Structure 1
Amino acid sequence: MEFRGAFTALVTPFSGGEVDEDRYRALIEWQIEQGIHGLVPCGTTGESATLSHAEHKRVIRICVEQVKGRIPVLAGAGSNNTREAVDLTREAKDAGADGALLITPYYNKPTQHGLVEHFAAIAAEVALPFVVYNVPSRTSVNVLPETLVKIKKRVPQVVGVKEATGNLTQISDIIEYCGPDFAVLSGDDFTVLPTLAVGGMGVISVVSNIVPGMMAGMCNAFFAGDLPKARELHYRMAPLCRGMFLETNPVPAKTALGWMGRLGFETRLPMVEMLPANQDKLRAILAAAGLV
């Protein structure tokens, strides 16, 4: 299974404090209709940190069931507890996911050697392709390019990385050190096109929750060699990307989807509604893009 192109880090719709399965299935179906290349349930954008284990497993199963093999499903299954990550990864495999997105352990602040051992331990228990999720802004740990080389050699199941540093030097180093077949996926919507330009394979995106066709279209244009079209879409999405981070993800994305009629806005504490001033800014951005 190749992880290439635009993957949406799906929000998890809630209603009355519970997972809204009907809205979730409808959102997945719309994403596929719009041409998205893959889906990521239970990532940061899916509020995985506030899902119970039972909910986490159910959300992945719903996604796999609804997709029906039409596009890849890369299931969020990581944890700062290695044993917990093994359990979630096993469940993702049992549900039929095509791969697991495994965040680096957060809060614990492991050493680089500890990171290698963490992924090796998961691989020893579960045979499934893994994509490492490197997001130092949330975990306080940066997987260095040299460490990814060690992980790749030790754990052949690790086929790529979601690189959310926004650091193009680091991204270039990873591609240089790990080779062109290692799937470097941008985890930063602002730098998708530059990442593709240096050899990246795609993106795991927040903004594609609201414009899946546009993000997929940019990747398609780039892969087809149509750089002017890819550049045009990059700049069309730039204000939307800023809008998605006016406050902490996924609050702006859920707010936008609510205004677009895709779901009812509901998050779980400690995530709360956007400040009114930021709502005004977001609505203006969406209106300019013709989304509301």
Structure 2
Amino acid sequence: MTTTLNGASNNGAHISRKIAAGIYAPIPTFYQPVSEDLDLESFTSHIIRLARGGVRPLIAGSMGEGLHLTHSERITLIQAARAALDKEGFAGVPIIAGTGTGSTRETVELCKEAAVAGADAAIVITSGYFAGVLASNKAALKAYFTEVAEKSPIPVMIYNYPGASGGIDLDSDLITELATESPNLCGVKLTCGNVGKLTRIAATVSEQSFSQLYPRQNPDAPFLVLGGYADFIVPGACANGHGAITGLANVAPYTLVRLFALATAALADPSRLPEAQQLQGIVARADFTIAKAGIAGTKALLERLYGYGGAPRKPLPPFAPEALQTLWEHPHTQELVKVERELAGKA
């Protein structure tokens, strides 16, 4: 079997970086005021800030307003991220790029472009514009991910997000079938928030025999089962899940990485579980509060915390100053910020 090497360094050499369990952040795309041109300085600074905290980047996803980006802008972001990571000593940190679009053809095209630009894996959302046709057609949904995975030069992750795909919600049976039949699939992000679904999928793919019976096309890209929120990292770990891709990691990278480490440690040492549960409570409350603020609210919080953030691209509206003040003063936010500052100060 031929191994597909994913990713490229800033000198053009192809290397394979591990797509491993842990915490990933869907990176916001930052823009220049008025012109809405890409603000690459803020973008790369933010990626390096997260990398220092142990968080890996996902570029041009939902939080990154992938729908609002041109092909060339997505490529520019991937290239800028790879160059910044390599320059700052994070050459081993993988990049996942959002490549899902309306058609199978364009999605494959974007996967190929992302690979050339330096992405190590792609994440593909279900095409939702014609959800009325696709939602009840399991064969068509399966064919979509199967073809994209077969034709993509880099491993592909399934992105199950009913809220952004016309309500299409892939079930655990379909995802498990895809995992066993498509060796270039490297995982699933469950932004459906369904812990039962995570448990059912992980019960198959986390078995030791799975990697032997269904080896991946790229051995550095195993099939991971990742939550799309931060509020079930501990339950997910107990069910043999592999972490999360979560917007909250933009705001509190050290906290999320610490939580995943505690959740993993508790599997081997149950005495660590109370500490993990206590931190999970803080994170879950903050995730519930901050997630409701959406992209604009997250970017506004980053502006408050780190001095960059700005507004989303139109037609998404900016976050109102009074709403930001309310969000900032909320006890769930303040509790998280306190923990994050303590952990960052110890790092």
Q: TM-score range by the shorter chain?
A: over 0.9
Match of 2:177 among 125, 143, 150: 150
Choose from 138, 146, 150 the match for 1:112: 138
How far does the alpha carbon of each residue in 1:229-254 deviate from its partner, in whole angstroms, 9 at most, with x for none? 3222212223321232233x211110
Superposition deviation, residue 287 in structure 1: 4.0
- CA deviations on 1:201-227 (whole Å, 9 max, x unpaired) are 010010010100100111112222232
CA displacement, residues 54-94 of structure 1 (integer Å, 9 cap, x when unaligned): 11121122122222223221111111211111111111111
8 Å CA contact 2:30–2:42 kept in 1: the answer is: yes
Residue 49 of structure 1: how far off its partner (Å): 1.0
Query: After the TM superposition, which of the residue ranges 13-22 and 107-116 deviates more from structure 2?
Result: 107-116
**Counterpart Cα distance in 2 of 1:195 and 1:157:** 24
Instruction: Give the residue type in structure 1 aligned to 2:23.
Output: A
* Secondary structure at the counterpart of residue 100 of structure 1: strand
Question: Letter of the aligned partner of 1:213 in structure 2?
Answer: Y
TM value normalised by structure 2:
0.78
Confirm or deny: 8 A CA contact 2:233 2:259 kept in the other structure: no
Match of 2:283, as an amino acid? Answer: M
Tell me which amino acid in the other structure corresponds to 2:52. Answer: E
SS in 1 for 2:232: helix
Post-superposition shift, 1:128?
1.5
In the alignment, the residues of structure 2 paired with residue 59 and residue 2 of structure 1 have an alpha-carbon distance, to the nearest angstrom, of 19
Matched AA of 1:244: I
Matched, 1:70 2:116: no
1:28 maps to which residue?
A: 47
Distance 1:200 1:244, change over 3 A: same
Other-structure match for 1:244? 290
Letter in 2 for 1:80: G
Partner of 2:239: 198
Runs of 4+ in 1 over 4 A off after TM superposition: none
- Corresponding residue number in structure 2 for 1:235: 281
2-side partners of 1:56 and 1:108: how far apart?
Answer: 24
The one-letter code sitting in structure 2 at the alignment partner of 1:89 is: C
Tell me, yes or no, if the aligned pair for 1:243 and 1:252 is still in contact at 8 Å. Answer: no
Question: Which ranges in structure 1 are unaligned for 5 or more consecutive residues?
Answer: none
* Contact residue 131 and residue 160 of structure 1 kept, 8 A: yes
- Per the alignment, residue 250 of structure 2 pairs with 209
Q: Which residue number corresponds to residue 2 of structure 1?
A: 19
Stretch moving more, 209-218 or 138-147: 138-147
Question: Whole-Å Cα distance in 2 between the matches of residues 70 and 262 of structure 1?
Answer: 28
State the identity %.
23
Question: Aligned pairs, how many?
Answer: 290
What is the distance in 2 between the residues matched to 1:29 and 1:178?
A: 31
Question: Residue type of the partner of 2:94?
Answer: P
- How does the TM-score come out when normalised to structure 1? 0.92
Q: CA contact under 8 A between 2:230 and 2:256: conserved in structure 1?
A: no
Unaligned 5+ runs, structure 2: 1-17, 212-222, 267-271, 342-347
Task: Tell me if structure 1 keeps the 8 A contact 2:111–2:153.
Answer: no
In structure 2, the partner of 1:187 is: 228
CA drift at 1:177: 3.8
Classify the secondary structure of the residue corresponding to 2:50.
helix
Cα pair 2:190 2:226 within 8 Å, conserved: yes
Residue identity matched to 2:281: Y
The CA distance in 1 between the partners of 2:288 and 2:322, in whole Å, is 15
Aligned-residue CA RMSD in angstroms?
Answer: 1.9
Measure the CA separation in 2 of the matches of 1:200 and 1:238: 17
Q: 1:278 is paired with a residue of what secondary structure?
A: helix
Greater CA drift, 212-221 or 226-235:
226-235
Aligned-partner residue type, residue 232 of structure 1: Q
SS of corresponding position for 1:97: coil
Please state whether the residue corresponding to 1:160 is helix, strand or coil: strand
CA separation of 1:82 and 1:30: change in aligned 2, threshold 3 A: same
Aligned mates of 2:110, 2:238 — CA distance in 1? 34
